[in-house]
Amino acid sequence: MTDTLDPKITAAPANAGSDQDVSRPPQPTPAVVQPPALKRRVPKVSDLAPLMQFKKPEFSKTARLRRASTIWELRDMAKRRTPQAPFDYTDGAAEEEITLRRARRAFQDIEFRPGILRDVSKIDLRTDILGKESRLPFGIAPTGFTRMMQSEGEYAGSQAAEAAGIPYTLSTMGTASIEDVATAAPNGRNWFQLYLWTDRDRSLELIERAAKAGNDTLMVTVDTAVAGARLRDVRNGMTIPPALTIKTVLDASYRPAWWFNFLTHEPLTFASLSRYTGTVADLINSMFDPTLTYEDLDWLRETWKGKLVVKGIQTVEDARRVVDHGADGIILSNHGGRQLDRAPIPFHLLPEVTTALKADNSDAEVILDTGIMSGADIVAALALGADFALIGRAYLYGLMAGGREGVDRTIQILEKDMTRTMALLGVSKVSDLNPDHVRLLQR
């Protein structure tokens, strides 16, 4: 039997079962009311006036330096204002410059581990280093031929360090004498860096001069048995003093201020010798002693009555050994990558060295240099166990960018970086930094 539909029954509407009454027509969508602030209008002069605050262009050195917010920006300024040979002497490293790139990358390959809900309204960057307080946890490293980078040279560095309350280190190859630096910064904390010469009498003379001038720390560098292959210097024909070749004359035409300063100030002289002409490598190879042993370190310890630190430590074993031979501190350093390319990276070495010295119950202080280009780099080093840091290139970039004011700006940038980084980490003083604040990432 087949069922049939009643013709009176019609199909249910498509919206059957809905709440909508099919007998009512669709209701119009309510119009969206636009907020008054989004309605277009002709701008009023009174509205534009506060926005039109045009400043008078500033071209002074002070204004130019103030615009630099990072050390990298100071480096850019330095490159524009300095002839290629002295800039490359500062900026370059040995051979393929692998070590320098790795050192800088080491600081990039970290992760900070911040703490929250800490009172960081006041950040205290003071620390004690080698028996005295430093207002900031870094100082200025020894750099050679510094007046060649900019005519104010070591005078700018030492005076800026004095004003900032941090140590300044004069190099054996500095272009200002020990006595002149002491006179320029009489209230500063001055250290002296020593290369031991084959002529021990000359070395002893330097040590005595440093002590008489009030230097409280002697820093002996031990990683220069021979000169590294600094290929930029070779390609530039770098000599001391710079030679006036066709290339340098052309280069000078773009940087007249540097040459004017260089030619109108006293010729370069050195902390350790009165005059020298030739390449940097020839100077190192002819004067510095490749036969140094730990017996020489013992001799220094007996001779020097102040604090003694050894610069150029690149293994845990050597760190332990120099402390056993009387060093008050060590500087983890590969000479800024300027000696042995593919050398150990100080930042990578830092945790092993601090762990080893603690295991020996040593109170020797650990200082780090190489690769530092920001205050965050310094904070990371302190967190991983360094007691202090030294800046070399970073300070020289500021010097080349603007003399004494440029060095001041370098210090200001690093201090501001450190203050901000520590506040964001939830740390209010240097002594509270610890390895929990940093994690080393793997590439």
Tell me the DSSP string of 70-81. Answer: SHHHHHHHHHHH
Give the three-state DSSP class for 307: strand
Q: Angle CA(285)–CA(339)–CA(289) in degrees, nearest 5? A: 30
Is 348 tagged catalytic?
Answer: no
Give the N- to C-terminal CA distance of the chain in Å, as an integer: 81
Residue with the two structure tokens 């009311």: 33
Residue with the two structure tokens 């773009």: 254
Query: Cβ neighbours of residue 428 under 8 Å, at least 6 residues apart?
Result: 118, 119, 120, 122, 123, 124, 422
Spatial contact of 339 and 223, defined as CB atoms under 8 Å apart = yes
CA distance 162 to 308: 21
Spatial contact of 124 and 136, defined as CB atoms under 8 Å apart = no
CA distance 229 to 218: 27
Residue in 265, 335, 348, 437 annotated catalytic = 335
Spatial contact of 279 and 239, defined as CB atoms under 8 Å apart = yes
Query: Cβ neighbours of residue 132 under 8 Å, at least 6 residues apart?
Result: 189, 216
Spatial contact of 191 and 170, defined as CB atoms under 8 Å apart = yes
Query: Cβ neighbours of residue 72 under 8 Å, at least 6 residues apart?
Result: 373
Amino acid at 313: I
- Active-site amino acid positions: 335
